């Protein structure tokens, strides 16, 4: 929406979208229309329009007579999101190699420098958001509106599955070093290298997620680890 005057529902939509990207809004969070209206100083009609857009992108679930909640993708849905992300990122990467000009390359570099600065000063939320926005900017540079629409949904859904399925010791934000390597390939219009780097980049993110068949069982074991430890340490009758 650059260059366009933002409506009230644009502003609300962007605030909620950013909060999901930054993982400040966790999966399953209730989005009360009245509370959001008070926060943003707008009517519930405005809030409903913003939530409807987020619902269209599948990052918010609109429940009749029960209100909206932030989506909580299932394990199977998480796998589908990862697969779809690979398909879209490959197409976007190829188009960026064809379309990116010198100004856009510099814009990408500045975004990654900002991303790095956020992580360096410990602002993890802003760093994660900029990591996602890097991929959204690529989709804008690709100059294919349907791909951009898909990417907006997939990047925010990716943030949700990271929040749900991240391995305990993992840090699943993008690597800014890998972002710089991608930019170099874009600048050289090296499509083959750029696609390989993007797939490798996505591999690193996926490796930090627990998406195997044992994920749900492991989650329960982690939740009740204190019970299991007491059971194991109890004397046998």
Copy the structure tokens of residue 181: 């390597």
Same domain, 121 and 191: yes
- Three-state DSSP at 226 gives helix
- Could you tell me which of 208, 205, 99 has the C-alpha nearest to residue 154? 205
- Three-state DSSP at 28 gives coil
- Write out pLDDT tens, residues 149-180: 999 999 999 999 998 998 865 555 667 789 99
Task: With a cut of 90, say whether residue 134 has pLDDT above it.
Answer: yes
Position 218 in a domain? no
d(CA 28, CA 209): 19
Same domain, 64 and 86: no
Say what the pTM is.
0.83
How many CA atoms within 13 Å lie on the side-chain side of 2? 3
Q: Which residues pair with 61 in a beta bridge?
A: 69
Same domain, 45 and 82: no
Separation in Å, CA 12 to CA 43, 63, 175, 231: 11, 19, 29, 49
Domain total of the chain? 2
Q: Give the model's confidence band at 221: pLDDT under 50 very low, under 70 low, under 90 confident, else very high.
A: low
From the CA atom positions of the chain, what is the Rg in Å? 20
- Write out pLDDT tens, residues 180-214: 999 999 999 999 999 999 999 999 989 989 988 65
Q: What is the DSSP string of 111-131?
A: HHHHHHHHHHTT-HHHHHHHH
| Boundary residue ending a domain (32, 51, 70) | 70
Same domain, 86 and 182: yes
Residues spanned by the domain of 171:
75-208
Mean pLDDT of 101-120: 96
Position 220 in a domain? no
Same domain, 49 and 123: no
**pLDDT for position 234:** 57
């Amino acid at each position: 929406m650059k260059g366009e005057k933002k409506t009230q529902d644009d502003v609300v939509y962007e605030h909620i979208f950013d909060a999901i990207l930054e993982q400040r809004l966790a999966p399953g969070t209730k989005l009360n229309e009245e509370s959001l209206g008070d926060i943003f100083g707008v009517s519930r009609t405005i809030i409903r329009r913003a939530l409807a857009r987020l619902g269209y992108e599948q990052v918010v679930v609109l429940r009749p007579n029960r209100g909206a909640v932030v989506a909580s993708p299932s394990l199977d849905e998480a796998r589908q999101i990862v697969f779809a992300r690979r398909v879209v990122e490959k197409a976007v990467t190829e188009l960026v190699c064809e379309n990116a000009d010198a100004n856009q390359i510099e814009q990408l570099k500045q975004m990654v420098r900002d991303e790095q600065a956020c992580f360096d000063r410990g602002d993890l939320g802003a760093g994660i958001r900029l990591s996602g926005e890097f991929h959204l900017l690529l989709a804008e540079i690709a100059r294919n509106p349907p791909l951009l629409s898909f990417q907006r949904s997939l990047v925010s859904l990716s943030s949700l599955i990271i929040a749900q399925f991240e391995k305990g010791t993992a840090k699943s934000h993008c690597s800014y070093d890998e972002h710089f390597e991608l930019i170099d390939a874009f600048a050289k219009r090296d499509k083959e290298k750029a696609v390989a780097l993007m797939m490798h980049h996505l591999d690193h993110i996926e490796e930090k997620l627990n998406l195997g068949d044992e994920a749900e069982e492991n989650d329960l074991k982690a939740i009740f680890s204190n019970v299991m430890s007491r059971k194991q340490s109890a004397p046998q009758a």
